[in-house]
Amino acid sequence: MVGKVGVDRRIQRTRQILQDALMALILEKGYDAVTVQDVIDRANVGRSTFYSHFQDKDALFLSGFESLREQFEQYLSDGASMNGDPWNLSLQMFQHAQSHLQLYKALAGKQGGTVALEHIHKYLTALMREHFKSQFLERKDMDVPPDVLAHYMVSSFMALLTWWLDHDVPYPAERMNDMYRQLTQPGIIAVLR
């Protein structure tokens, strides 16, 4: 009889094989062109195995995002926090993307489609919104609400991240973050005065 740990490892291994197959296929032909059958063939598993783990291709794709989110949260907890500076978060995100390049290219690059981009945007906006709310809770005179400010910063960040990934990372993470900061900081400072 196989113990629970053995079963859990097999489930994790099968899920990882399916995620790896999907990510490789996305990089080859783009998310929209990949079918469940492509994933099954690449992973060398049966159709029933696929559907015992995932409802469809989107569910498999989003499981990759969840894995990335967990890795990023661990990365954030190991490194410095935002410490009052939202550009520390963007730097950490660029650095994390640089160290997990193929995964980010598959999830957030042009081949990934909109599914992961929407989830990444939502996740980062929530992080940034909480940062701004805690920083400016007592200020009632702001013309731009924290929700709008967070959406603006994350949208700008996502546009640069996608460009950076799609152009094969022509600059180091630190340089990209410096450019992001140069582009966004003047407007943010003007709003916060």
pLDDT single digits (tens) 103-151? 888 878 777 777 778 888 888 888 888 777 766 655 666 778 888 888 9
Q: Please give the pLDDT value at position 29.
A: 87
CATH code where residue 134 lies = 1.10.357
How many CA within 13 A on the CB side of residue 114? 0
φ and ψ of 144, to 5 deg: -110, 120
Statement to judge: residues 68 and 53 lie in one domain: no
Statement to judge: residues 91 and 182 lie in one domain: yes
Give how many domains the chain has, as a whole number. Answer: 2
3-state class percentages of the chain: helix first, strand second, coil last, to nearest 5: 80, 0, 20
Q: How far apart are CA 176 and CA 183, in angstroms?
A: 11
Statement to judge: residues 11 and 95 lie in one domain: no
Q: Please give the pLDDT value at position 92.
A: 86
Q: How far apart are CA 173 and CA 160, in angstroms?
A: 11
Q: How far apart are CA 16 and CA 78, in angstroms?
A: 24
Statement to judge: residues 141 and 171 lie in one domain: yes
What is the radius of gyration, based on Cα positions, of the chain? 19
Statement to judge: residues 44 and 77 lie in one domain: no
Statement to judge: residues 110 and 182 lie in one domain: yes
Q: How far apart are CA 104 and CA 69, in angstroms?
A: 11
Statement to judge: residues 88 and 177 lie in one domain: yes
**C-beta separation of 108 from 165 below 8 A:** yes
Nearest to 40 by CA among 22, 16, 61: 22
Position 69: which residue type? R
Domain holding 101, by residue range, is 62-192
Q: Please give the pLDDT value at position 148.
A: 86
* Mean pLDDT, all residues of the chain: 83
- CB count, 10 Å around CB of 127? 17
User: Which tokens go with 22?
Assistant: 């999907």
Q: How far apart are CA 18 and CA 49, in angstroms?
A: 10
User: Which tokens go with 131?
Assistant: 């940062």
Q: How far apart are CA 124 and CA 155, in angstroms?
A: 9
Kindly give the parts of the chain with pLDDT less than 70: 1-7, 75-76, 78-85, 134-141
